[in-house]
């Protein structure tokens, strides 16, 4: 009987130690012999922070954004950032809720991809320009990169209206982004052409990818082809991907898988 009671109290003590370790904020040294502590397993999970908000003077309102952190995110380290832009009528959660972005990003990192922080801002219906551009560059980017520790490497990607925002940003702020991936992008031949011509050296622009579906009836593939031709004429290096598909959530998650790979490579 004494042995049974002793065994019971040993188990109880061990359980209490585990519980204290799980609640403690003090870093715990990893066990020997390659065993992984429970806290390490918990920290290995990716995290999604929905509907964070920032009061914007430029927009005159609170602006929402969602942040995805890769598994193993360590606040003592710095990370490259991807700004992922939604389309017209959607919001900062649409890439997650409709486009499966969290799973796609998780799988990308798990397969050896570059860990990055993904910021999904609410673009409203402003086409990521005007007052929204001021908010983005002067308020959101400084705040979120301070909070989540950006290392200075940035990329931008987006669909439809977000594709427009992607192109606008890499053409108007080429020094701030290392890559732009525009999916089914709305385009502006005259406006974007002026942005390109404002630079005397077209090599200042980061790598750009345009990807559109041949069955897209919302943003015609002809308009994207015309824009690709304009970039070629003006000496801006880019890739143009045409494939079967429409202007929908069946098309864009596949784009995102490719975009993460290309962006991760440019971050290396």
Predicted TM-score (pTM) of the model is: 0.85
Q: What is the pLDDT of residues 51-97, one digit of tens each?
A: 999 999 999 999 999 999 999 999 999 999 999 999 999 999 999 99
- Tell the burial category of 19 from Cβ atoms under 10 Å away from its Cβ (0-12, 13-18, 19+): exposed
Cα 122 to Cα 91: distance, rounded to the nearest angstrom: 5
Average pLDDT of the chain, as a whole number: 88
Is beta strand 47-56 parallel, antiparallel or unpaired with respect to 79-85?
unpaired
Task: Answer yes or no: is pLDDT of 262 > 50.
Answer: yes
Task: Answer yes or no: is pLDDT of 40 > 80.
Answer: no
- CA angle, corner 57, sides to 124 and 50, nearest 5? 50
Whole-Å CA distances, 205 to 138, 173, 196? 21, 9, 9
CATH architecture of 33-267: 3-Layer(aba) Sandwich (3.40)
For the chain, how many helices (H) and strands (E)?
Answer: 10, 8
Region for 126 from its dihedrals, namely left if φ exceeds 0, alpha if ψ lies in -120 to 50, beta otherwise: alpha
Q: What is the pLDDT of residues 161-210, one digit of tens each?
A: 999 999 999 999 999 999 999 999 999 999 999 999 999 999 999 999 99
- Tell the burial category of 51 from Cβ atoms under 10 Å away from its Cβ (0-12, 13-18, 19+): exposed
Residue 228 corresponds to which tokens in the numbers above?
């690709």
**pLDDT average, residue stretch 98-120:** 97
What DSSP assignment string belongs to 214-242? TT-TTTTHHHHHHHHHHHHHTT--EEEEE
Secondary structure string (H, E, C) spanning 104-126: HHHHHHHCCCCCCEEEEECCCCC
Using pLDDT thresholds of 50, 70 and 90, give the confidence band for residue 2.
very low
Cα 116 to Cα 235: distance, rounded to the nearest angstrom: 30
């Amino acid at each position: 009987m004494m042995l049974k009671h002793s065994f019971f109290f040993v188990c109880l003590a061990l359980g209490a130690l585990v519980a204290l370790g799980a609640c403690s904020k003090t870093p715990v040294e990893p066990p020997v012999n390659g065993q992984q502590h429970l806290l390490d397993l918990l920290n290995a999970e990716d995290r999604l922070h929905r509907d964070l908000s920032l009061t914007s003077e430029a927009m005159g309102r609170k602006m929402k954004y969602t942040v995805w952190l890769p598994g193993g995110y360590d606040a003592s380290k710095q990370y490259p950032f991807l700004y992922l832009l939604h389309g017209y009528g959607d919001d900062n959660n649409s890439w997650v809720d409709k486009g499966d972005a969290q799973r796609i990003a998780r799988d990308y990192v798990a397969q050896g991809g570059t860990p990055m922080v993904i910021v999904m801002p609410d673009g409203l219906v402003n086409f990521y320009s005007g007052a929204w551009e001021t908010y983005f560059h002067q308020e959101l980017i400084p705040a979120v990169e301070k909070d989540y520790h950006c290392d200075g490497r940035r990329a931008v990607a987006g669909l439809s209206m977000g594709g427009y925002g992607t192109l606008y940003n890499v053409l108007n702020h080429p020094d701030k982004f290392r890559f732009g991936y525009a999916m089914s992008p709305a385009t502006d031949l005259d406006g974007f052409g002026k942005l390109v011509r404002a630079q005397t050296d077209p090599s200042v622009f980061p790598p750009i990818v345009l990807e559109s579906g041949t069955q897209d009836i919302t943003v015609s593939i002809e308009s994207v082809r015309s824009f690709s031709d304009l970039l070629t004429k003006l000496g801006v290096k880019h890739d143009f991907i045409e494939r079967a598909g429409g202007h929908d959530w069946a098309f864009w998650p596949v784009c995102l898988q490719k975009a993460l790979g290309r962006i991760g490579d440019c971050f290396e």
